[in-house]
Amino acid sequence: TQLLEQSPQFLSIQEGENLTVYCNSSSVFSSLQWYRQEPGEGPVLLVTVVTGGEVKKLKRLTFQFGDARKDSSLHITAAQPGDTGLYLCAGASNFGNEKLTFGTGTRLTIIP
Amino acid sequence: SAVISQKPSRDICQRGTSLTIQCQVDSQVTMMFWYRQQPGQSLTLIATANQGSEATYESGFVIDKFPISRPNLTFSTLTVSNMSPEDSSIYLCSARRSSTSGTDTQYFGPGTRLTVL
């Protein structure tokens, strides 16, 4: 069974601070996706990473896929209250044919 | 991106009754899924909705409890049968689309918040 552990589980920081969320597994994934979910809504896709070592930036968010494609990180610079939400990583071993394995989730709260 | 709508958005139901949730995608997709989520927690896959054939259920979920239909490439339903308070949860429809770059992308509907009394 593939497991994706996210850390921290909960994070509450002041506006303007930086933070990193980690997504770790002992399994290799062919691709990994990051989602953000706000209360009352479904998860919204932020990014997909597919190459070991790949780094993608989305404004103040930086996503990295581990060299061995077993882990990923999400770094937020100068966090804003709008970044508040549940962050989920999700990995696929063979994305065309297999279901996603979702991480345990990180609930982020940015305090104004 | 894919736009996914679900109906109803929320419902409060009595124990022993059944509720059918509808999921509509704005364009054809390769795969559709149904998930369950407790507020603030991660997602649990219930089943993969297969077009033209029976759904593929995950461990712990059975067809008699969660019958699923997928009559075409853009629509699916999930029924929660003979409900009990333990079925209270958020039910999410999801769809996967193939891209021209070869990287598939999976999208989610807004969810249906179910409360069983």
Average pLDDT, integer, range B30-51: 91
- pLDDT on residue A96: 55
Residue B117's pLDDT is 95
Question: For a pLDDT cut of 90, what percent of chain A falls above it?
Answer: 82
Cα–Cα distance measured from residue A87 to residue B68, given in angstroms and rounded to the nearest whole number: 28
Q: How far is B94 from chain A (nearest CA, A)?
A: 9
* Residue A8, preceding peptide bond in cis (omega within 30° of 0): yes
Token digits of residue B29: 């997709």
Is A107 a residue whose pLDDT tops 80?
A: yes
> What chain B residue is nearest to A104 in terms of C-alpha separation?
B42
> What is the average pLDDT score of chain B?
92
Question: Rounded distance, CA A7 to CA A29, Å?
Answer: 18
Give the pLDDT confidence of A76-87 residue by residue, as tens digits: 999 999 999 999
Question: Is A45 an interface residue toward B (CB < 8 Å)?
Answer: yes
Q: Judge whether residue A26 has pLDDT over 70.
A: yes
Q: Which residues of B touch A50 (CB under 8 A)?
A: 103
pLDDT for res A40:
85
Partner-chain contact A102 B40, CB within 8 Å: no
The DSSP code sequence of B61-80 is: --TTTS-EE--SSSEEEEEE
Residue B81 has pLDDT above 90, yes or no: yes
| B36-55 mean pLDDT | 90
B21: pLDDT strictly greater than 60:
yes
User: Do A99 and B41 make contact, defined as CB atoms within 8 angstroms?
Assistant: no
Share of chain B above pLDDT 90, in %: 76
Mean pLDDT of A1-30: 92
Q: What share of chain B is helix, strand, coil (3-state, %, to 5)?
A: 5, 50, 50
A103 close to B (CB below 8 A)? yes
3-state secondary structure of A39: coil
pLDDT score for B101: 67
Per the DSSP assignment, residues forming a β-bridge with B12 are B115
A1 — pLDDT class (breaks 50, 70, 90): low
Q: How confident is the model at residue A30 (pLDDT cuts 50, 70, 90)?
A: confident
- Mean pLDDT for A68-72 is 95
Specify the pLDDT at position B39. Answer: 82
Structure tokens at A23: 């997504």
From the CA of A95, how many Å to the nearest CA of chain B?
Answer: 7
